[in-house]
Structure 1
Amino acid sequence: MINFNYETEFKLDSEDYISKWITDAIISEKHKLEEINYVFCDDEYLHKLNVEFLKHDTLTDIISFDYSVGKIIQGDIFISVERVVENAKEFKASFDEELQRVIIHGILHYCGYKDKTDDDAKVMREKENHYLSQLA
């Protein structure tokens, strides 16, 4: 089950379509969906979580709390809509494309992909692009 929650004025279009896309990606990665809660919020909300739980005093676009067990995916994914807007401008992408990239990025972390090294980040970006291409 995928739940979409809103702590800001933003509302995701096509929740059912995005849910199916996420579920299909999880299945493609040979994992099983249990429950994912997406929380769309603003910078202030996410910054507070970043400081409190991760001890990072910085703005970020996404924080995910992974409660997965083995290949059973479950967790909470918090996304700052304000950061997505800024990142879309910086990367010269549309808001929707950047939002979809962040949405699938969290899922790929749950499936075991990392992005701390250059090599890992390259693999993560390739996977993101692969799943983004399935939305077109």
Structure 2
Amino acid sequence: MAIHFNDHEVKSGLKNKTRLKQYLTELFEKEGQGLSGLNYIFCTDDYLLEINKQFLNHDTYTDIVTFEMSEDPDVTEGEIYISFDRVKENAAKFDVSTEQELHRVIFHGALHLCGYKDKSKKDKELMTQKEDENIKKYFKKA
């Protein structure tokens, strides 16, 4: 099982990668989801917009696009693309640090791969609750 963090045309400044990998491994275990591999790609708005258009037929900017690559529903092999431009903008918008917003989106993608959705109001509320729990727990351990 491997978790990788990759900067593509951006510098995410992600800290404590080893600790974060361990935390993400524990998150998947806690959620009862196997994890074969996970690849985070931090990129620009324009790069993620092209992925959004090409694979999802959405012509809109977004902060994250998550792909499940595994054919086994019990074991995740995923790719998560995160727009660092959106992360910085949302951090300012929600008056949180860029580091905290980056982790929120990292956990958001992992939660999607664990089966959480965010299309309905009820699903969004649960997703936000799970993001908040993970942010609090992760930064409390720091």
- Smaller-chain TM-score range? over 0.9
Q: Distance in 1 between matches of 2:37 and 2:26?
A: 14
Ranges of 4+ aligned residues in structure 1 off by more than 2 Å: none
Displacement of 1:9: 3.3
Please point out which of 115, 119, 126 is paired with 1:112.
115
Could you list the runs of 5+ residues in structure 2 that have no partner in the other structure?
none
Number of residues of Structure 1 aligned to a counterpart in Structure 2: 136
> Is this contact kept in 2: 1:26–1:32, CA < 8 A?
yes
Q: Distance in 2 between matches of 1:67 and 1:13?
A: 26
Identical columns (%):
40
Displacement of 1:47: 0.8
Q: How does 1:13-24 map to 2 (within 5 A)?
A: 13-24=15-26
Q: TM-score, normalised by structure 1?
A: 0.95
> Any idea what the Cα deviations from partners look like across 1:10-51, whole Å, max 9, x if unmatched?
142111111111111111101111001110111111111111
Q: Distance in 1 between matches of 2:94 and 2:77?
A: 30
CA RMSD of aligned residues (A): 1.0
Q: TM-score, normalised by structure 2?
A: 0.91
Write the letter of the residue equivalent to 2:49: H
1:95 — aligned with what? 98
> Any idea what the Cα deviations from partners look like across 1:66-89, whole Å, max 9, x if unmatched?
124222111100001010000111
Could you list the runs of 5+ residues in structure 1 that have no partner in the other structure?
none
Q: Distance in 2 between matches of 1:116 and 1:83?
A: 19
